Structures are given as C-alpha cells and as structure tokens.
Structure 1
Amino acid sequence: MLKPIATATRELVNLDGVWRFAIDSRLPESPWTAQLDTPLEAAVPASYNDLFTDPEIRNHVGWVYYQRPVRVPRGWTDDRVLLRFGAATHAARVYVDDRLIGEHIGGYTPFDVDVTEHVTAGAEFRLTVAVSGDLSNETVPPGKIEVTGAGRRKQVYYHDFYNYAGLARSVWLHSLPQVAIDDIVVTTGHVGTVGSVHYVTHTTGGDEVRVRLRDARGVIVAEGSGREGTLEVQDVTLWKPGAAYLYDLEIELLTGAAVVDTYALPVGVRTVEVRGYEFLINGEPFYFTGFGKHEDTPVRGKGHDNAYLVHDFQLLEWIGANSFRTSHYPYAEEVLEFADRHGIVVIDETAAVGLNMGVVGGLAGKPPFPTFSEQYANDRTQGAHAQHLRELIERDRNHPSVVMWCIANEPASNEDGAREYFEPLVNLARELDPTRPLTYAVVLFATFTNDQIIDLFDVVSLNRYYGWYVAGGDLETAREYLARDLQGWIDRVEKPIMMTEYGADTEPGVHSVWDKVWTEEYQTAFLEAHHEVFDRFPQFVGEQVWNFADFATDNGLHRVDGNKKGIFTRDRKPKSAATSLRRRWRGLDGRKPGTTEH
C-alpha cells in the first residue's frame, strides 16, 4: 500500500485538526446520520483518553465518534477519491453522510476507503468515523472485557503500556487517477561498487511503465521500462547506519503515449544478512545500540507529533544510539521515513504483545490456562496476527532503515502450541519479504532449555531483567544469571544474540550512595553491570535498553505514574544513566565492544 503523496497526477488534502467528538453512551442510535449532538471536540491526530478531564471518557469501553465536514476539491471530477487513515486504534467504521462505506480492524496500520461513488467534486460531505479501543482474545494485541459488580464494562489487557485509543495518526483525502500505480516493491543489493535496484510495480491498468533512478543531486543514474526490472547503479553510494544516502525511484505509468500516473519512492541501496553469530549490514558486522521505544507523550498519548519526532531523534544522536525497536507495534510512517533519511536502524515489530498467559501468573510463570488454546490464542487470533503481519510488511518493506521484522513481543514460546501458532506466521513473513531476518523478543520464562520456536528465527532477541524483577537490587547475582543465560543460548544455537530489553525503574531525583533500587545511581550501576557481561561474548550483537523514555501504563499497585524505566523522563529530560550510556555508545562508533574492527 503506497502512502499518499502529491505528484503531477495525485493530490491530497490534510484533514487533521479539531473534530466533533462523543462516546457512544451519550449519543442516540445511528449517530452518523446527523451532526453529532455533543459539546466536545477532539484533536486529530491524538489519542482521546488524556484530552478530557472526564474519567468516563478516559476509561471508555465501546465506540467513540469523530465527525467533521469535508469538501472535495472541484478539480477531482475525473479522479478516484479516497480517505486515508494512518491508524485507528483498534477498529474503525467510516461513514460518508448516512452510509457505512468502510471498516478496518488493527490499530497501528493504515487503511484506505474509496469514497468515489459517494462524493461529488466541489461538494461537501459529512465524515463520521467510529473508533473502538476494545480488545479481545481474537485481536492483536489481545485482551478481554469484564463487567464489574457495579455493571461497568472494564477493559483488561496483558501488556504493560496504556491502551490509548482514537485517531492517533493523520487523516487525508486524496485523489488517484482511474488508471494508477497501485504498489511498488523494491529490493536492493550491490557487488563491489555496482548497486542494484530491483523493482516490481502493480497497476490498475495502463500500457507501459517507465522508471528512472536519480541520485541525491537529482541526476539520473539509471533508467528502465517494464512492470518489473533491475536497475544497475555504477559507483553506488550505499545507505549505511549513521550515513544515510537515498536515491529517488521515479515511476511513470503510460496509456498510449500519455503519462496517466506518477509516483516517486526514496530508495536506499543496502543489504542485510545473518551469518553465524554475526548481523551484517552491507557485509559488515553491525552492533546495535539503542532502545525499545513507545509512541507516548503527555496529553497526545499515542498521537503522532513531528516536534517529538525531531527531538527524539536528536536525543538518539546525542546519546550515541544507532537503532531502536518499534515496541510494541508499528510506528507512524513518518518515523520510518525520518529514520531512512538520518541513518537510524529499525527493528520493526507487530502489535502482537500479550500472547502469554504466564505473565498473568507473575514471576512463577504458571499460566491460569494454556496460552495457545481456544480460551486465548486460537485460530482466529492467529488469523488476526497474520493479517497484521501482512499489513506491516506490505507497508514498510521499502524502508532501508528497517533491517529486521520482530513478529511478537514476549510470547509464550516455552508453552506447548507455540510452534503450531508461530510456524505459519514465520512462513508468511518469509514469503512476504525473503530479504530480512526474523526475530521475536524472548520472555524471561522462555529459556535456552525450554523455548520451542527459536530454530524458526534468525536472531535471538532477549528481554531480561536480572537485577530488577529477578535478583532485584543484587547486581552480583544478576551478572551471574545473565552470563549463564547468554552462554546457554550460545551453546544451543549458532545465531546472533542481542538484548532487546533490560532496564530498571528509576524515579528522577531519587539518589543514594548505596545500591538502592529506584535511584538514579542504581539505574546507572544496573546498566554498567550488564555491559560488563555483554562485552565478554563476541557472539553478542546488540543492546537496546528498556526504555527510551518513561511512558504511561494502566497504573496498578506496581506502577506509580507509569513505567519509569526510561533513560529520559516522559518529557525527555535525561536521568543520570543517560551520561553513562552516552560515554559508552559514543565510544563504540559501531564497533563490537572489546574490538577495534568496524
């Protein structure tokens, strides 16, 4: 699915702003058939939960309604007209005037709704969007809805971040020619100084496809024709971590001699490969430094914000990070585009978090019932997971910054049924994109002795909390546990091993001369203890701290105002550990610790 852009044959109108807003319990039946009877307005893009002071809205279970008038540009008479939603968390129904004209399930991937037959160029229509944040065992991520003794519906979920809902990404009205370029798939490679850009185009008709590749100065470096082909680039400049270089692939669709559609796609020429214990980018060993992140900011919730986007990447550069994981869902397309332009490496993750009943059992890891069962992760869950995986890969496979797919966070890979659940998903991911390695974030309960699916994947990505949830406050024991764990995985599989989560909750401003948990000093000591162990193992290929910044959670007894494992506060102020990480990461310069080779 191509992102809408303005070209010589395409136009778009941004619909962001302030929309009428109401929750279903305060509206009559079929509220989309008239102007919403509500005094409330909500910002788009933004999650709605933190916008209002009313707790009934913040904790609402059910549908909410957004509404605004939209005028179609008068010059679109002969074009197809579509609505594009960057995301609607977690399900959406789209109404034009009185009619339902589109639906989508999945809260973090975009979708288009064709409204051509329902609108008129130059005229106005009433756009109403119903959005539900409800989760069940057949959604991704999963959850359940309980009814309290007072009769109130309550959302329960098994992931440790707040279940923000709403229209968190931009909404667009855009035009397409009747005969159009529908999709483009690009794969790149290089042999010596000669690069290759293989392209496949999908169209809704037309006679001929012409392609041109321009360098960063706008000079044409290769040309071709046909719906599929390979362009050779002499003296290619590779896309590299920390040194991004992008070409522009221009595609024209012709009917007869007339150009009926055009599209331009940024392309970074680079390769990704796993060889033994090494992770290679452009044939060179790569060592990940960075974070698990969240789309999470005050007031906006998961609403995309370009100011935070720029500032967060500035902080990544300041601290010396070269990568991040899109934990625990696909981020806005603008984030990946920014990473493409600035040379930041991305592990791109699905929204499959919470597929683990062992988490409900606490540190004992004993599930109340099997995770992979009709009660919880069943065939319908797997189907939703597959659809989400398909939409993620089809959206992001052309981004050079994306070097690996993470198809789940902390699933119950130690439980029976895990293989039957995940093997078809792995096969699907490899079919959709055979060029990138696959991984999943391995939960603490899944060890090198009992994990049942690691052979299906390319990289071992460990989430471990020795010194926090296990051996809390005891860094000596934490080192022993961690070293034993890493050695066990090395002995079991010949695959690259990295840490995708390790961290300690830290309250800003709490200090102590002793190793006391929750202090800024303990967070620093915790990280340094882990780094000392990482550096013992040449098979270890990366460290991503949990988390980049503090983030909102459904505050239970073990959380005070959210998860505090951030190296930065929620408003992006550095904690003491930030300077320690900066010294380490800026000194590595892409090297594996303990080596002098790049």
Structure 2
Amino acid sequence: MTSQKKMLLIALVAVLFIVCLVTLTMNMREKKMITSDTDMLVENTAVHLIEHDGVQVAYQNGLPIPEFSTWKMNEERRQYISLNGEWKFGHEDDINCPQADLTCSDTTYDDSAWSVQPVPASLDLAYDNKKYQYTFGSFWFRKVFKVEQDWNDKFVKLNALGMGYHSVVFINGTKVGVNEGSATPFSFNISPYLNYGEDNIIAVQIIRRAHDHEDVGALPAGGFDWWDYSGITRDIYLEATAPQTISKVIVDASPLKKRVRASVVLLNYSKEAATLDVQVHPGVDNIEAQTKSVSLGADEVKVVGFEFDAPDIEAWSTESPNLYQLTAEIINGDRLITQYGAIDVEVGDAKVLVNGSPEWFKATNWHDENKESGRSMSPEEYRAEIDVAKSASANLIRNAHYNRHPYAYEYADQIGIFVMDEIENYWLSEQAIGHQLYEKGLSREKAIAMAWNQVNHPSVIIWSVANENTPNNTTHLAWFNDMRDAVRLVDPKKRPVTYASNTQHHPVDMSMSAADIIGFNQYYGFHGGESEDYGAEQYRKKLLEIHERYPSKPIILSENGTWSSLGDRAREQWQAGNFAAHWDVTVTYPFTAGYTFWNLKDYRSKMEYTSRDPQRLSGMGMVDWNNRSPKVVYYYFQEATDRGANRIMNPRFERGIEEWQVISSTKQQSVTPTEEGLQLTLNASDSIMLKQNAFDLLAGKYVLELQLSSPEDAVAGKIVLKSSYLSGGSLEKTFDSSGSIKLPFTLTHNGVTSVTVQLQFEGTKANEQIIIEQVNLFPELK
C-alpha cells in the first residue's frame, strides 16, 4: 500500500471516528435532557424519571406525580373540591362541536341542550339506557365549579383517577393537558388557569377508539379480550396545598432489618426560595419523630431522606396485615399521611421469599367491573368483588390487565391479599413493541407510573409489565428489560418483575431469561392441545422444559381456565375437572411458585366469541356475572391445597346437602347442615346412605379420606367406592372407632372417568348423632 493510500485510509478512519463521537455526544445530550433535567416546569409531559438527591422521582406534565391516596380528600391541611356529580354531556353526533376550533371547551359555549349525566360513571352502562356501548368518536363533558379567592396563593392540582382512552382537559377554554390510557391516574397543575373567587368551567373531551382498532402507538395496539369502558370512569377532584408541598413519600419498611426508610419528595411551587423544617414520624410505637431543615430554591424539587430503627415493627402478611401510618409534615405547613406495611421480598433458587419464607401463590385473575357500574365501582362494590377472591381462599389477585382504582389496593392491604399489578401491554406485535421501545415510549411510561403509584402498598408483591405479546426476539427482550429496569429504579424494595408469556403458542421465549419470575399462560386441552386429559401432560412437559432451561427461576402459572355456565352442571363439572388436572401438575413441582385461575368472575368482552350472548359475557369465571354465585370450580379452587385438588363437594361447602344425595330408609332420621359439617341423627335400627359422584378423574392413584365425629365410642357403617375402573367394580371399608378413614385406590383408563362415593350408616341407639366433618378425594401426586 502506498503512503498516499495509507494517509487517505487514516484520514477516513479519523473522520468516521469524529462522526461517531459527535453522534454519541448528541445522543447523550438528548438522553440527558430527557432523564436528568432538574427544572420543575419542563415541557416534557410524558411520564419520566428525574434523579433528585439519589432518588428517582416520577414526573408527568412538568411536575412530580403526586400521591393519589388523597382521593378520599381527608388530609386536614389541604383543601379539596370534588368534581364528582352531575356534568353536562354530549356525543359528537348529537351536539354542534366542530373539531377544528373545539368550541365545546369555550366558556361562552351554550351547553343547555346537553344531557345531565353522573361522573364518575362508565358511559357504556350509565348514559341513555346503554346507548353508547358500541359508540366511538368524541364525547364531551362540561361542569361549572367555584374556587374561593383564598386559593389564589395556593398550588392547585386537578387529579383524575381514570378516564379515556384519550382525554383532553380544558379549564376556562384553555387546554391544560392531554392524557392517553384509561386506567392510570394523572394530574395537571391548573393554578394558572383558574378564576379565583368566581365560577370556572372544566371541559373534558374523551376520544374513544374502536375496540378492533390497529394502532401501534396505542395500548393495547389492537383488539383485546375485555370491555373498553369509556368516559370519566373514576373520581376526579381538585387539591390545593401551600406552594411548598409534599408531593409524595416513598416508604421502604423492612421487618427483617427492623428498619423504616422514608424519601419525602418536596416541591416549592413558588418564585421565591424557602427554608423548611420537615418532620417525619413513622407511626411505629417507641419511635420518635425526626426533623430536618431543607432549603428549596424557586421552582425546585428536592428529596429528603429519613431512616428509623424499628425493633417493634411487625411484618405485613396475608395472615396478619399489619399497617402503619407515616406522617410527613412541613412544620406550620403542608402534611401528607402515607399508609404502609413492612414487607421484604426476594427471589432466588426457584423460590419467592416473603419476609424470609417461601411463599406459594394461590391466585386468581380478575377484571375491574360489575354489571351495575362497569369500571366505575364504589368502595362497597370493590369490597364485594375482592371478597369473593378472599372467600375462595385465594392469597393473590392478578390485576389483569391494567391498574385499578387506588381503593382496590388499599382494601387489599387491609384484608391481607397479595396483588400482582399489571399494565396494558397486551397482544402487541413485534412491530408495536418496537414502536413503543424506540419511538413512543408509552409502555415505559405505564410501567413507571404503576410502580410509582403503588410503591407503598405492601399487598403489591409482583410487578407485571406485559401479557401475551410476540416473544422470542431481541426487540421483545430489550422492551422488557427497559420496563423492568425502570420499575427497579422506582421501587426501593426491588420487588420481582415479570410478564405473562403466551408460552403455549410461543414455546421458546428468550425474554424469560430476564424476568425475575416466569409467568406462564396456558390453556392446553381448551385452546389447543389434547383434551383427553385436559392437556395436563402437555402442560407438564412444557413446564419441565422451561424449568430445565431456567432452573433457578420460580414459575407461576399466570393463566389457566375454561368456560362454563352457571346451572349447566356438566359444563361446570368439566371446568372444575380441567382446573383440578392443571392444579395438580402445578403443585407437584418445587420450582413452581403459584397457580392463577382465569377468571374470578365472568366478564364482558367485545371479541367475536361473545357476540351470541346478549350481555357479551365470557363465562370463564369461578362465579357468575349476575350475582357472583359460585360454580363448581369455585369450591374446587377453595379446597385445593399443595396435596392437589379435592374432587369432593365437602359437607362444609355452601352447597352442602344439595351435593350429597340422601337415600332414606326410615322417617326418624335427619340430615342437617351445620358449621361443623353434616349432622346425622339416627335411632336404633335406622339406616341412612349418602351418595355423591366425583367427576372427571384422570388415570392415577388417589386416596379417599373421611373424618367423622360422634359422642359414641364407635360408628356403625362403611364407605363404598364404585367405578367400572376399579377391581370388581367397588371398594369398601368399615368405619373404625377413631372416625378417620383413608381408602387408597387406583384408576387405569384413558381420558376421564367418575367414581361414586357412598356413605352408609346404621343407628345403634336412640337419638344418635354423627357429624361428617370432612370427605376428601386427593390425588397422589407424581
């Protein structure tokens, strides 16, 4: 090579190096502008993180995202105006509201012809006799409210807990902000737009897209299997504080380390600097408050950290949901009370450890709706829904597939039930995932907001950032990593981050390598796969494959279930049998951390498969839609343990006597359901037989167990088990004096079968009483 060519090559390399360096520098500057800007009044309206004093603070619309537990409007040092109640309402087809100039937001616009409708409400159900269930486009809401003159020197926020999908908010004709998404709370600073001491007008435009839309920038990006409730669906209110205010407190309480840490996010919404004394009391016995002096510049945000030794703090658990109230206050100024619980969570060696002990999640998915209110439920209605899960002995609910009203988390904290929280990254294609990751960023915004808003709830045990998207590509892996890392930046507890993988249809998924817990959705034997054994062996094979690939990761079956209709006993039993088969596989292995049934209750959907039903219901609930009445699978789920699923309708069940067919031989005998079980009353020479079928048993080994109690020394009678797949067609065993009987048996057949259980008793004296406390039929797990 000539010296001239060498010089040209060196020059070319130098130029390329300079270009790369300049490009890298520009990218770094651009990234720094987005993530490290410390000015309060930034133009970036997206949810993003800014570090203050070593703590990542979530911003939106130019301000730290505030605490939304104030929806109860009971903080004594703050002032509130509820905007719940009557609003004027109109749809674009019924009102004169040109899109070009948005005259519907003007203060002089005449809305006298509009209807009056309630807020919050799901307009699908509440307005004009369900007229708008299938109506899309632009909906308008208007309301007049008055702000007192003394609010003029305060910082005033508009807090909305849920509206959309796409919402635009106007105050006195001026657009103050835009929000995308229906389930995540948001807040706007409206101080500059108010008329103090006078009437004000708020106008909200809700843009509802068609359910089957295709939009790579939206979440979800296409069709989805739940109801798209629209409108101002959750509480909306104004909150006024002093200019120097506490936006939020992040609490990290550890029962293992006996420590409470608090990060107090302070905002000085003023053009003048201020020096404040900030005091924090953790609300734990035998701990004194701490006070720190803080200097804040004009329009400045700071985070002040506090740490307390807490030897007397008690752990939060599902059995003992201990809660504390931390009080943070600016002396002679603003105050914010934050409820929290002490909990530690870590993942390792294929286990989820809660407060230092392995936890197994008996879980159910649920949708945020009921037939009366849609997604605009009252606290009483939320309690009724969540209580169903608790009464079914679930210890975790998965918030499929979006965030809930703040009250849902508060109630979960209160009654002691774990929560897997989730956002709307649902059925995204690789193209949509790439668009979110590299361009729009809404997926990351929702992940940040979820962690920020729910960070203090001890019930929230797992963060889920996606459901059934297109996996096994580097784009999906980078997308998950981006959201996981953002959540970890917000959450000081570093609770595990997962997503629900569509493993059945995408058997290989490289993103599992990055998840703290592997979430596994599967419907083998129902949506694809063999149905002869409910797909149980296909599930077992795939479960073992995943464990072999990722042996250190715990696996949660995050979805599994089937359809049934209340009252169709054959279908109910098929649903229960399917549950039992998949539950038994799940609890067999030590590397599983939970089973999550789909779904708690029947739910509404606009998918084609519901079009034949007038209510558009998917019947996959363990209770029905109309009255939350239990189906057979509810009882199966309720009694399922780490031994497997119990196939017998136990005498303690609500259905009790209805499940056991009673065959009487004399009139003197009686069968009475009691809290202890089924009480039998017999006289001498009386006999009684009870019969029940255990349906849909797969081939394998089982054991039938009976527990009786009686004041007598012995009970005369026997247990008889009948099936065409038993040797001789039946097995029987006489009751012993202890009242405890175990009868093992083996079924060898293809597919599923049933067995008949008969209990036969004979009276030996007058007014003899026997209580059948338990009848259980469990598998012998492999």
Query: 1:424 aligned to 2:476?
Result: no
Of 270, 276, 281, the residue aligned with 2:343 is 270
Maintained 8 Å contact 1:140/1:353: no
Report the CA distance shift for 1:55/1:415 in structure 2 as closer, same or farther (over 3 A): farther
1:436 match: 495
- Once the two structures are TM-superposed, the CA of residue 521 in structure 1 deviates from its matched residue by 0.8
**Partners of 1:133 and 1:164 within 8 A in 2:** no
Identify the match of residue 623 of structure 2 among 568, 571, 576.
568
| 8 Å Cα contact 1:93/1:131 also seen in 2 | yes
Displacement after TM superposition at 1:85 (Å): 0.4
User: Any idea what SS the aligned residue of 2:535 has?
Assistant: helix
1:581 matched to 2:622: no
1:113 maps to 2:191: no
Which amino acid counterpart does residue 456 of structure 2 have in structure 1? Answer: N
Within the candidate set 327, 332, 348, 1:250 is matched to: 327
- Map of 1:141 onto structure 2: 219
Deviation at 1:74, TM superposition (A): 5.2
CA distance in 1, matches of 2:607, 2:215: 22
The AA in structure 1 aligned to 2:229 is Y
Q: Which residue of the other structure, out of 541, 554, 571, is the alignment partner of 1:496?
A: 554
Counterpart position of 1:550: 602
Matching residue within 218, 243, 247 for 1:182:
247
**CA positional deviation for 1:558:** 5.6
> Which residue is 1:22 aligned to?
90
CA distance in 1: counterparts of 2:179 and 2:609, whole angstroms: 35
Counterpart of 2:85, as a letter, is G
C-alpha distance in structure 1 between counterparts of 2:472 and 2:128, whole Å: 43
Partner amino acid, structure 2, of 1:175:
A
Determine whether 1:311 maps to 2:384: yes
1:462-541 correspondence to structure 2 within 5 Å: 462-471=520-529, 474-476=531-533, 478-493=535-550, 494-512=552-570, 519-541=571-593
What corresponds to 1:66 in structure 2?
Answer: 141
Per residue, is there more strand in 1 or in 2? 2
Matched with 1:297 is: 370
Partner of 1:362: none
Tell me, yes or no, if the aligned pair for 2:465 and 2:480 is still in contact at 8 Å. Answer: no
Counterpart position of 2:23 = none
- Counterpart of 1:336 (choices 406, 409, 423) is 409
- Give the secondary-structure state (helix, strand or coil) at the position aligned to 1:582: helix
Aligned to 1:195: 258
Matches within 5 A, 1:189-268: 189-191=254-256, 195-205=258-268, 206-215=275-284, 219=285, 221-226=287-292, 227-254=304-331, 259-268=332-341
1:125 partner letter: N
> CA–CA distance in 2 between the matches of 1:177 and 1:464?
52
Q: Please tell me whether the aligned partners of residues 328 and 349 of structure 1 are also in contact (alpha carbons under 8 angstroms).
A: yes
- Paired with 1:447 and 1:484, the residues of 2 have a C-alpha distance of 14
**Structure 2 residue 121 is the aligned partner of structure 1 residue 46:** yes
Query: Which amino acid is 2:356 matched to?
Result: G
**Other-structure match for 1:87:** 162
Q: CA deviation at 1:37?
A: 4.8
| C-alpha distance 15-421 of structure 1, shift in aligned 2 (>3 A) | same
Instruction: Kindly indicate whether the alpha-carbon contact (under 8 Å) linking 2:282 and 2:289 is maintained by their aligned counterparts in 1.
Output: yes
**Paired amino acid for 2:619:** K
Task: Return the alpha-carbon distance in structure 1 between the equivalents of residues 408 and 130 of structure 2.
Answer: 31
What is the match of residue 148 of structure 1? none
Q: Is the 8 A contact 2:224 2:607 kept in 1?
A: no
Q: In terms of mean alpha carbon deviation, does 89-98 or 345-354 score higher? A: 89-98
In the alignment, the residues of structure 2 paired with residue 302 and residue 196 of structure 1 have an alpha-carbon distance, to the nearest angstrom, of 38
Secondary structure of the residue aligned to 2:334 is strand
Gaps of 5+ in 2: 1-65, 269-274, 293-303, 645-777
Task: Name the structure 2 match of 1:161.
Answer: 226
Q: Is the 8 A contact 1:78 1:177 kept in 2?
A: yes
Q: Which has the larger displacement, 53-62 or 460-469? A: 53-62
- Displacement of 1:373: 5.4
Change in 2 beyond 3 A, CA 1:552/1:235: same
The one-letter code sitting in structure 1 at the alignment partner of 2:400 is: S
Question: What residue in structure 2 maps to residue 171 of structure 1?
Answer: 236
Between the aligned partners of 1:496 and 1:378, the Cα distance in structure 2 is 27
Percent of residue pairs identical: 21
For 1:438-475, what per-residue CA distance to the aligned partner results, in whole angstroms no more than 9, with x for missing partners? 10001135555x20211111001111101211236x25
Q: What value does the CA root-mean-square deviation take over the aligned residues?
A: 2.4
Name the stretch that deviates more: 6-15 or 485-494.
6-15
The offset of 1:265, in angstroms, is: 0.5
Per-residue CA distance 1:404-442 (angstroms, 9 max, x = gap): 110001111134532233322222222222511110001
Alpha-carbon spacing, 1:235–1:475, altered in 2? closer, same or farther (3 Å): farther
Structure-2 change in CA distance of 1:468 and 1:63 (3 Å): same
Q: Distance in 2 between matches of 1:452 and 1:371?
A: 18
SS across alignment from 1:528: helix
Counterpart contact for 2:362–2:396, Cα < 8 Å: yes
* 8 Å CA contact retained: 2:471, 2:506: no
1:76, 1:121 within 8 Å by CA — same for their partners in 2? Answer: yes
Aligned with residue 128 of structure 1, among 203, 206, 213: 203
Distance 1:179 1:552 in 2: 45
Shift of 1:59: 2.1
1:363-412, Cα deviation, whole Å (9 max, x unpaired):
xxxxxxx56556xx66334x111111111111111111111110001111
Q: Which residue of 2 aligns with 1:149?
A: none
The Cα of 1:61 is off from its aligned counterpart by 2.4
Q: Secondary structure at the match of 1:328?
A: coil
CA distance in 2, matches of 1:310, 1:250: 27
Q: Residue 103 of structure 1: CA displacement?
A: 1.9
Distance 1:22 1:451, change over 3 A: same
8 Å CA contact retained: 1:51, 1:300: yes
CA distance in 2, matches of 1:57, 1:442: 34
Q: CA deviation at 1:535?
A: 2.3
1:454 to 490, 496, 512: 512
Deviations 1:12-49 (A, max 9, x none): 22221232111123322221222425442332222212
Match of residue 380 from structure 1: 439
Q: Which has the larger radius of gyration?
A: 2
CA deviation after TM superposition for structure 1 residue 180, in Å: 0.6
**1:33-84 CA distances to partner (integer Å, 9 max, x unpaired)?**
2242544233222221223457873222222111111122455343222211
SS of residue matched to 1:50 = helix
Determine helix, strand or coil for the equivalent of 1:112: strand
> Whole-Å Cα distance in 1 between the matches of residues 333 and 638 of structure 2?
51
Contact between 1:497 and 1:542, CA under 8 Å: does it hold in 2? yes
**TM-score scaled by length of structure 1:** 0.86
Q: Distance in 2 between matches of 1:260 and 1:107?
A: 34
**Alignment partners' CA distance in 2, 1:83 and 1:466:** 47
Alpha-carbon distance in 1 for matches of 2:130, 2:75: 44
Distance of 1:322 and 1:276 partners within structure 2: 22
CA distance in 2: counterparts of 1:288 and 1:521, whole angstroms? 24
Structure 1 residues 304 and 180, CA gap change in structure 2 (3 angstroms): same
CA-to-aligned-CA distance 1:99-120 (integer Å, 9 cap, x gap): 2122222221111222222224
Cα pair distance change 1:140/1:390, threshold 3 Å? farther
